[in-house]
Structure 1
Amino acid sequence: MNRIYIVALLLISRLSVFAQASEEVTGVVKANEKGKNIELVGANVYWADTQIGTVTDFKGEFVIDRYGSNTQLVVSYIGYETDTIDISNNRFVEVVLQSDELDEVLVAGKKAGSHMSRMDPMTKVNITGAELCKAACCNLSESFETNASVDVSYSDAATGAKQIQLLGLSGNYVQMMTENIPNFRGLATLYGLNYIPGAWMESIQISKGTSTVVNGYESLTGQINVEYKKPVDSERFFLNMYANHTGRWESNVNGSIHINDKWTTAVLAHYSEDQKSTDENDDGFRDEPLLKQVNFINRWDYNNKKGFTSQIGIKVLDENRLGGQMGFTGSRPDDQNIGSAGQLYGINIDTRRYEGFYKAGYMFDDDITSVALVANYSFHEQNSFYGRKQYDASQKSFYANLIFQSIIGNESNKFSTGLSVQADEFDEQLWMNFMAPDTRQWLNRNEFVPGAYFQYTYTLPEHLTIIAGGRVDYHNEFGTMLTPRLHIKYNLTPNTIIRASAGKGYRTPNVLAENSYLLASSRQINITDNIDQEEAWNYGANITQYIDIAGRELTLNAEYYRTDFENQLVVDADQSVNAVYFYNLDGRSYANNFQVEGKYELLRGLDVVAAWRLNDVKTTYNGELMDRPLISRAKGLVNLSYSTPLKKWQFDFTTQFNGEGRIPSTLSNPEEYRRAESFGAYQVVNAQVTKYFRKWNVYIGAENLGDFKQDNPIIAGSDPFGEHFDSSLIWGPVMGRRFYFGLRFSIDRE
């Protein structure tokens, strides 16, 4: 009855409220714990005597539209005294809640690991620093172990390349971003997940479905954006050390300096190395490559306190991967005694990458209108060989985006418009046999894509948000591209939210750069002429329900997405066991993805996340519609995270369930080199224990506790220069149980 009464009042007052100009109130909610203020994630903020409100994000911050003449804002959080404040004409407020328990045995200051924003019209999952600490998280590829939306797996058993999957499709169709700059495209696709150390990341945002048009046309299934630690609010000093029992160790050192009230700078440095060769499955090949990586960022931030801000920075990376048979030392192929009985099959991938970025923005006096420029340049060079195959490539990329944002009449009608340009220069050379110069293939190309876009956002406070946008881009090879996209969010009730999206995306496939792991096989590479641009529609919807149970909030989410390809690069390993064919789609290709997920604090300090996903992914191969290979048709996840009072200890446990899937046919191989045409379900378990001290913490953990490994992942490993060698049919873990230890030390800013 109370809800019906409130809805009736809202309907009666709608006209008067709608007539008023919308004005946002922003703020931050903190908790006082032993004299120190800690940001509270997930605190409730709502207008007094209403159900109209929001929750704080991973920084404890919130944004809420004013509601009529109501000036009483209520802030509450379990374990703290509820506070009601009169905001009057304030636009920004800082609220510090006090504990309502004398002994402070509560979930004080415990930050939500990941959450979905109630305000964002897109289906966006925010992974916070707290979530990243639940696992070893040496780099971006390992940061999704406790996440139900993104899968990470090895793409082959020899190079250590990892691929993500979102909505049942590979990471090629996900737009990778670093601080809203498209990044890790082309040559960096396969190994880019390893280029961002976990200790550098402030947060990760995962957007499912098509993204907005502001960041470009390339998002087909979603977008992953990484936010680095910022000089303004990151630790003064941070040290992270990690080592595992197989000989991998790494060190991360971060530091930030506030030079004055306008200038800040930060340095992020990383070094990692794998020192020990392991072969737990006794196939004669290293289970993972020996790797050395040096990684560095220096960035500067400027804020004149009068509306202008800017950032500038450089990134440098040097990485070497050494894989192949045990005992291989990394000699170049032309230095080996080709044809000798004792010749070892080796893989060496030597990479150098340099980046420079610049951002500038100006906020006009109305605090509504703004203009910004984002620019990034990268140079990526990779020299590699796989047995007798040699692949050398370089890529130069430039990206710029000029963005203008303002309103039309009032803040319920916002728009963004701008101009962008993406330019890429690829220089690729492939020798199928480096001893035979006539096997060399050139795959050089230049791309230049200028574009313009407009995006309109309509907001009916606390009820409806619509984002409609379109962009026009001109590709120097493929012509004009039109990209329409639409997002809708509707609040059925304050605790029931429906979202829907639809849109189109394009991308230029990089045949060798994105599939170079296939060179670690004896398969011939057959690429058809005139590879077209990939083009797909994506549409879907989700519903999120928040339910209060025993003073704690249960979050339930159900979603469905479909991706329909109008054109696609088909990677066909089914026609022949001795070749892989790349050609344009001739037929249907689609992906259906359905997922349900629940989150709840079952007991004080014990968070539970459970999810289940079904994948229906099919592509036409050589005229036949078939399941895409090496993808599990079902996926489940259970994550338990328990923190003791005052967060002195934390225990994290994750179980990943992976369903069965299809394997490309190997029936034409000799019997000893054949594999089953499908793989069965399997389970992977990870666990970690963390002990917290005042300025530092130590953690120990294990990955793949059950020691599950794919049987015989390499075909014909005893004859790697023969015609049947293949390391690319990977559907499960190739490495067994891993124990690790680490420590983190930080000197926080006041």
Structure 2
Amino acid sequence: MSYRHILLGAAAFTLTLPVLAQTSEDTETHLDTITVEGSRLGQTQAEIGSSVSIITEEDIDQLGFDFALDAVASAPGVTINQNGSFGGNASVRIRGASSGQTLVLIDGVPVNDPSGTDGGYNFAFMDTDNIERIEVLKGPQSTLWGSDAIGGVVSITTKTPEPGLGGTVFGEYGSFNTFRGGASVGGANDTGDFRLSASRIDTDGISKADEANGNTEEDGYESSTLSARGGLNLANNIRLDSGVMWNDAESEYDSYSGTAQGSVADGDEVTKNETLSSHVALTVPLFDDRFVNEIMIGYSDISRKNYTNGVNSYEADGDRTIYRYQGTFTINDANKLAFGAEREETTANDEDAAIDGLFALYEFKPVEKLTLTGGVRVDDHDKFGSETTGRAAAAYTANDQLTLRASWGQGFKAPSIFQSTYICTFCGLSDPNPNLKPETSEAFDLGFDWQSANGKTKAGVTYFDQETENMIDFSYTAGYDNIALVNSKGVEVYGSHQFTDWLGVSANYAYIDAEDGDGAELPRLPENSGDVTISLTPEGPFSGAVLVRYNGEEANTTGTTLDSWTRVDLTGSYNIDDRLELYARIENLFDEDYQQILGYGTPGLSGSVGVKLRY
């Protein structure tokens, strides 16, 4: 790993440490003013037009999610697959798109693995302790974010400090001899802000290969995360912001066995992963803040080493550097324009690629209740040429209770470095496939959001239809080739009702009908899935929640079917005072025996207890 990039990400941060001696007054934040950062136009959910789910820090705390993977799974239309718990390889799919077609951002920096087969992101190691918000933008977002955003975007925002100086310390212990703990310190005033945090998890784990199949060996997991974020508020509302997040993880896993269920059984396998993401950004407003200019340099690096019986069996390293400029000009209340340029350079195992992008987005409000958005982007890949994508969206607030929305978009994904350089020698080939070309997609969605006059009841429905062409898959005649097609359509539904000041219920459901070009059901993708959450917040120190998660039956890659499952989790917390909190979580309350992937086990009835101190 090149540590000069860590210094780049931390340089501006270190400037903030000496200037935080005084505090500023608290400011109030209203949910209806929170913008969707992934929209690149600073739009609210009522203005963006397309479907987006936002998972807040409060949501994560209420449901006790330790891993970002579980938090992302709470968004309708999102499917997760993990090769066993505690460090097993974990992928996220949006509306049936593959993991490699889901772009993952951390503070605006792409972090997908350039050395992976399809360039997907492994969610196995991301802890929630440093996450402030997760946005899931569904459908093609290439006009906004370029290649890899062909199926959707998961945009993760890390925590920023509250005014004043303070922090937290927490520790918890649970089943499988699992310890998780961490600490943070931060401060903010009119001059600047900073936040430092560290977290750690150690567990004996469970067998990655299902114990029900006779696999008794525990597969341990350990992971450490360090992060730093800071900013300086300069003259004329100019701001310098930077951040670094580093993770080091080691996970035991099981071996290939052709005779076992799912072809996996106990074995001595270990993977060691080191990941880094960092950024430096300068924001310069002009013309009374109507013209905001942002320049950012971002860097991410992922290195992996696998060991079999203690011997190094595989290793890979990939990194990407992104250079970005965006200008956002608010012409007047009815017109806003955003435009910019990006360059992304990636390397993986001594191979490299680069892509340059130009984009323009326009927001038009002919009347106060109607928001129209359009955009176009041109990306030029150094090996696969140019691709142009477009996007259009409309949102109409009919009244204080009802918002109608619709969007259409195109996406593209350049072949990964692995796919474009792979030589299938056992196929009789001596060169990579010279005819490989980018995957493309086109989709639309229609929906509405409604709330009652008193705001206690909310509901929404979205219908989507997406087609992805020239999908890359393995072929015994050409290696990796554009031989696949996927059609995906379905419905996402959510609703909530606040019965009293202390009792509320929310639910979401997704139906996804995804087929390949031959009409076959896509594997590892349930047609039906959903969550129900009951929130308990009575007056006093106690609060709690019940989460019921359902995953319908799904096809295996073997042609068999994986059974549906329902899991119930409980969380509760007790505030001893304003600073000290006790909390607990019970997972899989009814000890459901289920698999996410054929042959891989999941935890039965388990739990943890913890304490958190705020200072």
TM-score norm. by structure 1 comes to 0.69
The alpha-carbon deviation at position 422 of structure 1 amounts to: 0.8
One of 65, 86, 95 as aligned partner of 1:167: 95
- Measured in 2, the distance between the counterparts of 1:38 and 1:642 equals 27
Aligned partner of residue 246 in structure 1, secondary structure:
helix
Residues 224-373 of structure 1 mapped to structure 2, 5 A cutoff: 224-231=154-161, 233=163, 236-258=166-188, 261-275=190-204, 281-285=211-215, 289-324=219-254, 345-373=267-295
Q: Does the alignment pair 1:683 with 2:566?
A: yes
Residue by residue over 1:11-65, the C-alpha shift from the partner in whole angstroms, topping out at 9 and shown as x without a partner, is xxxxxxxxxxxxxxxxxxxxxxxxx9894755xxxxxxxxxxxx45499xxxxxx
Residue 441 of structure 2 is matched in structure 1 by 536
1:312-461 alignment to 2 at 5 Å? 312-324=242-254, 345-385=267-307, 390-408=313-331, 410-427=332-349, 445-461=351-367
After superposition, what is the alpha-carbon deviation per residue over 1:628-686, rounded to whole angstroms, capped at 9, x for unaligned?
Answer: 1121111122111110115x2112111112222222337xxxxxxxxxx2233221111
Q: CA deviation at 1:156?
A: 5.7
**Matches of 2:301 and 2:477 in 1, distance apart?**
29
Please tell me whether the aligned partners of residues 542 and 573 of structure 2 are also in contact (alpha carbons under 8 angstroms).
yes
2:551 aligns with: 658
Structure 1 residues 680 and 479: CA distance shift in structure 2, 3 A: same
Q: Is the 8 A contact 1:58 1:128 kept in 2?
A: no
Select 2:583's aligned residue among 689, 695, 699.
699
Any idea what SS the aligned residue of 1:493 has? Answer: coil
1:505 and 2:411 matched: yes
Deviates more, 1:360-369 or 1:384-393: 384-393
Confirm or deny that 1:130 pairs with 2:58. Answer: yes
Answer yes or no: is 1:569 the counterpart of 2:472.
yes
Give, in angstroms, the shift of residue 365 of structure 1.
3.8
Q: CA deviation at 1:404?
A: 1.1
Match of 2:22 in 1: none
CA distance in 2, matches of 1:472, 1:404: 17
Match of 1:215 among 145, 154, 158: 145
CA distance in 2, matches of 1:581, 1:401: 36
Q: In 2, Cα distance between the equivalents of 1:288 and 1:460?
A: 62
2: CA distance between counterparts of 1:201 and 1:131? 11
Unaligned runs of 5+ in 2: 1-24, 37-43, 256-264, 420-425
- Structure 2 CA distance for aligned equivalents of residues 642 and 299 of structure 1: 34
Q: Please name the residue that 1:518 is paired with.
A: none
Partner of 1:185: 113
**C-alpha distance 147-39 of structure 1, shift in aligned 2 (>3 A):** farther
* Shift in alpha-carbon separation, 1:172–1:587, aligned structure 2, 3 A: closer
Q: Structure 2: how far apart are the matches of 1:276 and 1:682?
A: 21
2:17 counterpart residue number: none
AA partner of residue 297 (structure 1)? S
Superposed CA RMSD? 3.5
Amino acid at match of 2:336: K
Distance 1:277 1:174, change over 3 A: closer
Letter in 2 for 1:382: R
Residues 582, 735 of structure 1: alpha-carbon distance in 2 compared, 3 angstrom cutoff: farther
SS for the counterpart of 2:198 is strand
Cα 1:472–1:287 shift into 2, 3 Å: farther
Q: Which letter maps to 2:356?
A: P
Aligned partner letter, 2:603: M
Provide the C-alpha distance between the structure 2 equivalents of 1:255 and 1:145, rounded to a whole number of angstroms: 29
2-side partners of 1:571 and 1:250: how far apart? Answer: 40
Which residue, out of 516, 524, 531, partners 1:619?
Answer: 516
- Code of the residue aligned with 1:175 in structure 2: it is L
- The structure-2 alpha-carbon separation of the partners of 1:240 and 1:626, relative to structure 1 and needing over 3 Å to count, comes to same
Name which of 490, 496, 499 aligns with 1:593: 490
Alignment correspondent of 1:100: none
Distance 1:407 1:603, change over 3 A: closer
Is residue 181–residue 215 contact of structure 1 (8 Å, CA) maintained in 2?
Answer: no
Deviation at 1:618, TM superposition (A): 0.9
Q: CA separation in 2, counterparts of 1:288 and 1:449?
A: 43
Distance 1:240 1:58, change over 3 A: farther
More divergent stretch after superposition (677-686 vs 396-405): 677-686
Write the letter of the residue equivalent to 1:659: G
Paired position in structure 2 for 1:609: 506
Q: CA deviation at 1:627?
A: 0.5
What residue is the counterpart of 1:710 in the other structure? 594
Give the CA deviation at 1:373: 0.7
The alpha-carbon distance between structure 1 residues 619 and 212, as it changes in their structure 2 partners (threshold 3 A), is: closer
The one of 441, 444, 463 aligned to 1:560: 463
Match of 2:5 in 1: none
| 1:609-632 superposed Cα distances (whole Å, 9 cap, x missing partner) | 122221111113xxx331111211
Aligned amino acid, residue 547 of structure 2: T
**Alpha-carbon deviation of 1:423?**
0.7
What's the counterpart of residue 635 of structure 1?
Answer: 529
Q: Given that residues 397 and 424 in structure 1 are in contact (C-alpha distance below 8 angstroms), is that contact kept between their aligned partners in structure 2?
A: yes
Q: Is the 8 A contact 2:456 2:497 kept in 1?
A: yes
Question: Which fold has the larger relative contact order, with Cα–Cα distance below 8 Å and residues 6 or more apart in sequence?
Answer: 2
> In the superposition, relative to structure 1, how do residues 233 and 151 fare at CA in structure 2: closer, same or farther (>3 Å)?
farther
Identify which of 576, 598, 612 aligns with 1:729: 598
* Alpha carbons of structure 1 residues 277 and 484: separation in structure 2 relative to 1, 3 Å: closer
Displacement after TM superposition at 1:415 (Å):
0.5
Distance change in 2, residues 1:453/1:558 (3 Å): same
Contact 1:136 1:142 in 2 (8 A): no
Deviation at 1:215, TM superposition (A): 3.0
Shift of 1:391: 2.2
SS of 2:519's equivalent in the other structure is: strand
Q: CA 1:157 to 1:127, structure 2 compared with 1: closer, same or farther past 3 Å? A: closer
Q: State how far apart, in whole Å, the 1-side matches of 2:155 and 2:520 are.
A: 32
Report what 1:746 is aligned to.
614
Q: Within 1, Cα distance between the matches of 2:33 and 2:85? A: 43
Contact 2:109 2:278 in 1 (8 A): no
Query: How far did 1:246 drift?
Result: 0.8
Residue identity over aligned pairs, in percent, reads 15
Q: 1:611 to 1:344 in 2, by over 3 A?
A: closer
Q: Which amino acid aligns with 1:397?
A: R
* Counterpart residue type for residue 729 of structure 1: L
Match of 2:20 in 1: none
Relative to 1, partners in 2 of residues 1:373 and 1:462: Cα closer, same or farther, differing over 3 Å? same
Measure how far apart 1:376 and its partner are: 0.8
> Kindly tell me: are residues 315 and 381 of structure 1, through their superposed partners in 2, closer, same or farther at Cα, counting changes over 3 Å?
same
Q: Deviations over 1:287-331 (max 9, x none)?
A: 873122121112221001422101123332221112237xxxxxx
- Give the match's secondary structure for 2:46: coil
